[in-house]
Chains A and B, each alone.
Chain A
Amino acid sequence: MAPRHKEAKETLRFSGIAASRGIAIGPAYRYFRTLLYAEDHALDLSEVGEEIERFDAAVQKARREIEKVRRVAEQKVGTPASSIFEAQMMMVSDEFILSTIRQRIKHELKPAAFAVDSEFSSHQEMLKASDSPIMRERADDVEDIKQRLLRYLLDRKKWLSKIEEPSILVAESLTPADAILFAQSSMLGFAIDGGGLTSHVAILARSLGIPALVALHSAAEHIETGDLLILDGERGELIVCPDPETLRGYESEQSYVLGSGVETEGPILEDGAPVAKTADGHGITLLMNLEFGNEVAILEAERLSEATALVDGNKRLGLGLVRTEHFLLLHDEFPTEDEQNELYRNLADRFYPAPITLRTFDVGGDKVLSGSYREDNPFLGWRGLRISLDEPDLFLSQLRAILRASARGNVKLMFPMVTTVDELTRAHAYLEEARGMLRANGEPFDDHLPVGIMVEVPSAAIMAESFANLVDYFSIGSNDLTQYTLAVDRGNDLIATLYQELHPAVLRLIQRTVEAGKRAGKPVSICGELGSYPLATPILVGMGISEISVSPTAIRSLAARLHLLQYEECKTLADRVIANAVSPEDVKRQILQFLSERQLIDVFSETALRAGFGARLIKK
């Protein structure tokens, strides 16, 4: 199918949630999932036998297909994703529901399709009405099974044709099975109206390592197959039929993101890898952010890590943040201590001797409370370290698993969402208890395991001095720090543009943390998205951040930017900006001015243009 050239078509922009990061540029493939409904009519008595046979055949076919998808998922993504389909398999084999349907065909003379629709729908309604998001997502799985059975019974062909050319999939909604099957063709990414960050489809996108947008609300109806799209998985934007200038900007950002704009062969960092040196010799250690379950990203990170070792065998890129809760998001249950230990130990082995920083579970209460309690304000609620401290068995189990893995020698521990010194003290107490348990069993662990905290809540940044003596390092979680400081929920469409990482208030809190770290002799790293945001690099360097941890796709471009900057100049810039800027626009203007004076604006500012804020400023 040749792409249509629609030069006269106006540019449209849609905002959604970036379920999986990255940038995709390509033609749209508009996928229509026709939802099937069954009509009610009375069967003839003579038709009953055949109807039951048709139903049984449809069930068998559904089971075979789900098994097929599960195998593809297992192969492409690994066991965590395939468990989504294992659960579907259980549901479609539910003897009770199946025999109820057969009874209705036999005794009520209902057509199989109608009985299927009716029975599954009533369960769906119950699940959708649940307070638990896990249960609501299950309703989507039930819908998937129902549609599959209806398709066979109503004899509709599924138009799941292979995508002819590399395209971006656009749909109102997508089932996990669709995502897996389309991924076999050349799908560059997908953008859907529905879905949420923790939906199965979003999780699969991250596991597949392709950019994806969800919750676009009403984008699909405006897009036709062939329309050129920019899927911005960095900022959560979908741009339809972009103008040439915007397109060029994204193409160069994409090459940074993919690393192809800078050298792809050979060592990333000339000397002292994994430390990147500024033009005047100031070193900043580079690290990567990862999560379990994204096998594609882990492999990419491993590859990059090994590439840096070409310079010096001992100097591999390490991991500044490993999110451990992914397992929980996919399985809806906590992994056992042994399962965790295996994952942590395996990762430590793969990156040895570079450090891996394991952060304890950072999830919201909804993942732990499977009952009907519902928090009004989960973001300000029972999450992260708070859950661990309230669930000692869980916490000790994770701490023991991490300690056991630390025997390898390259593990660091990090606590999320720390708000008070008391929380940290209690966490340390549990850690000591865990050490005691292992000693009693004669199990080895690293006696000098570095323990740090995420600085992502304003109270931790403001009181950084009090924390400095109780940690070995700080890691700034700029995403949440920005959200809490500016009272902005990035996922809220209505106010998402207020999320500004370069807000002077956020920068001052970061600076405060860095200074507290310096005075106590503790390193301060940053692991949020601010680390990979090009405009922020001069400020972060100037503030004296010692380590920057970014996603593997952002490492090369970050190193390239660092090489172009002078630390002393950045320091002057940072001091000035933090002292006098009163708004994020002001901060950006000063940074752009700085870059312009050094002829660095082409390298750095393309991203500012696309962020939509810098455009007016650049034209001055």
Chain B
Amino acid sequence: MIQKTVTIKNRAGLHTRPAAAIVKLASKFHSEFFIIKDGFRINGKSIIGVMTLAAAQGTPLELEFDGPDEEPAMRELVDYFEKGFEEES
């Protein structure tokens, strides 16, 4: 199990579009993926779950990966977060 904290970089925050992209990306991997915010633990492969996070720009999130491909999973998802979901910041 590995973890990393990331920050929401883009202006619009974690809205529908990036939420869908995160779920799609995470679902490629076998490992479990959870996002933790303010003590809430959300399954990162569930769109409804990720949408409930409603995280604004600047919010720190903890990403948790557990499984055989946890390393590549974390790399790709952290990368997507660091790129600010490829949106304006």
Contacts and interface: CB of A to CB of B under 8 A. Distances in A.
Interface stretch (A55-63, A131-139, A257-265): A131-139
A371 B49 contact: no
Given A369-B56, A371-B56, A372-B38, A333 B49 contact: no
A130 B55 CA distance: 12
A138 B12 contact: no
Contacts of B45: 95-96
Interface string B1-20: 00000000001111111001
B41 to A, nearest CB: 11
Contacts of A595: none
Contact of B12 (A96, A132, A334): A334
A370 B49 CA distance: 15
A59 B49 CA distance: 19
Given A96-B45, A369-B56, A394-B11, A333 B17 contact: yes
A333 B12 contact: yes
B48 A91 contact: yes
A467 B55 CA distance: 39
B27 A123 contact: no
A91 B47 contact: yes
B36 interface: no
Contact of A371 (B17, B23, B52, B54): B54
Contacts of A93: 47
Contacts of B48: 91, 94, 97, 123, 127, 142
Contacts of A95: 27, 45
B28 to A, nearest CB: 12
A416 B77 CA distance: 40
Given A334-B12, A370-B14, A393-B11, A134 B46 contact: no
B52 A90 contact: no
Interface in B23-76: 23, 27, 38, 43, 45-49, 51-52, 54-56, 59
B59 A123 contact: no
A300 interface: no
Contacts of A568: none
Nearest to A94: B47
Contacts of B38: 372
Contacts of B52: 123, 126-127, 130, 135, 138
A583 to B, nearest CB: 46
Nearest to B47: A94
> Quick one: which of B15, B46, B55, B89 has the most chain A CB within 10 A?
B46
Contact of B15 (A130, A369, A370, A394): A370
B16 A132 contact: no
B64 to A, nearest CB: 15
A87 interface: yes
B13 A90 contact: no
B88 A393 contact: yes
Nearest to A130: B54
Contacts of B46: 94, 96-97
A96 B45 CA distance: 6
Contacts of B59: 371
Nearest to B59: A371
Contacts of A370: 12-15, 54-56
Contacts of B54: 130, 132, 134-135, 370-372
Nearest to A394: B11
Interface SS majority for chain B: loop
A40 interface: no
Contacts of B27: 95-96
A243 interface: no
A332 interface: yes
A399 to B, nearest CB: 15
A334 B17 CA distance: 12
Interface in A360-416: 369-373, 391, 393-394, 397
A375 to B, nearest CB: 14
> Quick one: which of B12, B20, B38, B54 has the most chain A CB within 10 A?
B54
A434 to B, nearest CB: 16
Contacts of A332: 15-16
Contacts of A91: 47-48, 51
A533 B59 CA distance: 47
Contact of A90 (B12, B20, B55): B20
A371 B11 contact: no
A525 B14 CA distance: 40
A96 B35 CA distance: 14
Interface in A76-104: 87, 90-91, 93-97
Nearest to A119: B48
A333 B19 CA distance: 13
Interface of A: 87, 90-91, 93-97, 123, 126-127, 130, 132, 134-135, 138, 142, 332-334, 336, 369-373, 391, 393-394, 397
Given A94-B23, A334-B11, A370-B55, 12 more contacts: A94-B48, A96-B43, A96-B45, A97-B48, A123-B49, A127-B52, A132-B54, A332-B15, A369-B56, A370-B15, A371-B13, A397-B88
Interface of B: 11-17, 20, 23, 27, 38, 43, 45-49, 51-52, 54-56, 59, 88-89
11 contacts: A90-B20, A96-B43, A333-B16, A333-B17, A334-B12, A369-B56, A370-B56, A371-B54, A393-B11, A393-B88, A394-B11
Q: Give 10 nearest A-B pairs by CB, closest first.
A: A371-B56, A96-B46, A370-B13, A96-B45, A94-B47, A370-B56, A123-B48, A333-B12, A370-B54, A333-B15
